[in-house]
Amino acid sequence: MTVESTAARKTTRRSSGTKRTASASTSTTKKATAATASEPELVQLLTPEGERVQHPDYDIDLSAEELRGLYRDMVLTRRFDAEATALQRQGELGLWASLLGQEAAQIGSGRALRDDDYVFPTYREHGVAWCRGVDPTNLLGMFRGVNNGGWDPNSNNFHLYTIVLGSQTLHATGYAMGIAKDGADSAVLAYFGDGASSQGDVNESFVFSAVYNAPVVFFCQNNQWAISEPIEKQTRVPLYQRAAGFGFPGVRVDGNDVLACLAVTRSALERARRGEGPTLIEAFTYRMAAHTTSDDPTRYRRDTEREAWEAKDPILRLKTYLENEGHADAAFFEELEAESEALGKHVREVVRAMPVPDHMAMFDHTYADGHALVDEERAQFAAYQESFEGGETE
């Protein structure tokens, strides 16, 4: 069995002439959590080779049906994501932020939630949205530029996508403090990235949630990059260790292991429900695609790094496990393939049929009661539109 030794990744100073080395090599240790002073512990229940391993603090007992469900979630999410990327390339979307490689982190954590829990996502949580039952086509309106969000957050307890890095962690903390005041036992799950961990907002959220014992779980997807900035530019210590300085537990989980992500998130949510306060989960994963469709990662990272992470693919390892254990047969995989095709077709049809909104509508919901400056901008924009021959342009 091979266990990822995440901290084995060596970094070199990237001054002129030196290059960043590829990601972690694998070791042949039998223990699930190889840890030395320089190698942070990583919770793992399913190795990259699809072998089930045990962890003393986290375990999970799932039926074959539940395992197939997690696999289905990841496959359909990846398919939806690929479709959205293609739609952007065809000019149907203005932009897309792919989750490729992060399916296990998102499905594992998303499936740990109860219906009454509340989620505050970034802009990349398409897999979590799927778990919350948000219609995937609703995720595309904002990226097509036809609406400002696309869904009612309170319908699925899934807040709107948030672009301003880290700000949603403050919203999550405030919401969690509200839950505690109401005396409810729901919990809040707040997502953010390795880059966002440097934001003041995130650190302020840690302070408030710790001091007020707020029922919030911070789920950091450390996908190793913040656009072109590597994780080494964000922190001197493994991110999960920061939690200790704020007075709550932090744990690093294999973000490409859906079982471990589910087990760790479930445990942290239960802790929050018991009134024991926040937890920081660092899901150690990798952004396989570009930051967004506007980005070209070949400008700042090496192909060998991506290749090393391909061997740790979250979907492949669960497929291997399902097959080896006899939990899924050929018919299951064939049906899922057909379901993926149907989802792709549906997404394409819905996006192309999205109505073009009135140009002036973008001024409507900036303030609940209007604002003089917005009125001025509305008037300026209307005059600009009128300046074209024949009046307003399409």
Ligand X SMILES: Cc1ncc(C[n+]2csc(CCOP(=O)(O)OP(=O)(O)O)c2C)c(N)n1
Which residues contact ligand X (rule: CB under 6 A)?
124, 163-165, 193-196, 223, 225-227, 287, 291
Instruction: Find all residues with CB under 8 Å of 73, minimum gap 6, and list them.
Output: 103, 107, 110, 111, 127, 130, 131
Specify the DSSP class assigned to residue 164.
Answer: S
- Express the helix, strand and coil content of the chain in percent, nearest 5 each: 45, 10, 45
For the segment 332-391, give every residue that binds Mg ion (CB under 5 A). none
Considering beta carbons, is residue 181 or 299 the nearer one to Mg ion? 299
- Binding status of residue 194 toward Mg ion by CB under 5 A: yes
Could you tell me the sign of the dihedral formed by the alpha carbons of 63, 67, 70, 75, in that order? Answer: negative
Q: Which residues pair with 220 in a beta bridge?
A: 192, 282
Minimum distance between the CB of residue 105 and ligand X, rounded to whole angstroms? 10
Residue with Cβ nearer ligand X (156 or 234): 234
Q: Specify whether 123 is catalytic.
A: no
Q: How far is the CB of 225 from Mg ion (least distance, A)?
A: 5
* Beta carbon nearer to ligand X, 227 or 373: 227
Considering only 25-33, 187-195, 237-245, 298-306, which stretch makes contact with Mg ion by CB under 5 A?
187-195
Please state, in angstroms and as integers, the Cα–Cα distance from residue 184 to each residue in 155, 207, 240, 318, following that order. Answer: 18, 22, 27, 35
Q: Does the footprint of Mg ion cover residue 193 (CB under 5 A)?
A: yes
* Smallest gap from residue 77 Cβ to ligand X (A): 15
Instruction: Scan for tokens 């359909």, then name that residue.
Output: 76
CA 240 to CA 264: how far, in whole Å?
A: 13
CB of 293: closest distance to ligand X in angstroms?
13
Residue 163 touches which of ligand X, Mg ion, none (Cβ within 5-8 Å per kind): ligand X
Of the candidates 291, 306, 317, 327, the residue annotated as catalytic is: 291
Catalytic residue among 300, 301, 346, 348: 300
- Strands (E) across the chain are located at 3-4, 26-27, 118-120, 188-193, 216-222, 225-226, 229-230, 250-254, 279-284
The residue (of 31 and 233) whose beta carbon lies closer to Mg ion is 233
**Interface positions with Mg ion (CB under 5 A):** 193-195, 223, 226
Active site positions, annotated: 287, 291, 300
